[in-house]
Chain A
Amino acid sequence: AQKVTQAQTEISVVEKEDVTLDCVYETRDTTYYLFWYKQPPSGELVFLIRRNSFDEQNEISGRYSWNFQKSTSSFNFTITASQVVDSAVYFCALSEYSWGKLQFGAGTQVVVTP
């Protein structure tokens, strides 16, 4: 069975600090996909990234970066120089398909204060 663990319930930082969100997953599949989504207070889900299990390269997109390590079954997400607009719940998700049936983690609430 697949499982996604986001052990951090809430992280509070002051603006411009870096924040790293942990995501640990379990799966028996050799091919799988990992996702990160942002859910701001308005409620909509914003897609951030999808990574397949064969691509362990780290990725950077602006202030966002992701560290995928198959050896530790982790797909961590870092926000550099956080801003108030980064305040949201962030979900990590796992799927055996490239899209569609996602198993979500519990989410991590990020609070960025000025």
Chain B
Amino acid sequence: SAVISQKPSRDICQRGTSLTIQCQVDSQVTMMFWYRQQPGQSLTLIATANQGSEATYESGFVIDKFPISRPNLTFSTLTVSNLSPEDSSIYLCSVEGRGGSGSYNEQFFGPGTRLTVL
């Protein structure tokens, strides 16, 4: 299984500033995914991050607002720029990994970063 850690676990930021979230995986993975969960809502995919290429963004998400880095196969960062209160959410990193049930692949999620924008 894949163990994912995220830093910071939570932060409170001022409007107009930026926050960079780190995601570290304990094994090499081809693709890493960033999701957003707004308060009381479901999860929405922001982008897919491949090592060595630019991230692929989903509709409604743009690189200027959510720049992503993927310097190697175990690490990625997501920056949320020019923060506004509407950016207050939980941001989750996700990877595919081999689960406990043999060859069964699972989609693992990190513990999330809870961002509050004042």
Which residues of A are at the interface with B, using a C-beta cutoff of 8 A?
35, 37, 43-45, 47, 50, 91, 98-107
Contact = CB atoms under 8 A, between A and B. Distances in A.
Contacts, number: 49
A103 B33 CA distance: 13
A37 B112 CA distance: 15
Interface of B: 31, 33, 41-45, 48, 90, 92, 94, 96, 99, 104-109, 111-112, 114
15 contacts: A43-B111, A43-B112, A43-B114, A44-B109, A47-B99, A47-B106, A99-B96, A99-B106, A102-B43, A103-B45, A104-B42, A104-B43, A105-B42, A106-B42, A107-B42
Tell me if B's interface is mostly helix, strand, loop or mixed.
strand
A50 B90 contact: no
B27 to A, nearest CB: 14
Nearest to A48: B106
A102 B43 CA distance: 9
Nearest to B56: A101
A50 B33 contact: no
For the complex of A and B, 8 pairs with smallest distance between CB atoms = A99-B96, A45-B109, A104-B42, A104-B43, A99-B107, A47-B106, A106-B42, A44-B111
Contacts of A37: 109
Given A44-B112, A47-B108, A101 B45 contact: yes
A41 to B, nearest CB: 13
B111 A47 contact: no
B42 A100 contact: no
A98 B106 CA distance: 9
Nearest to A50: B106
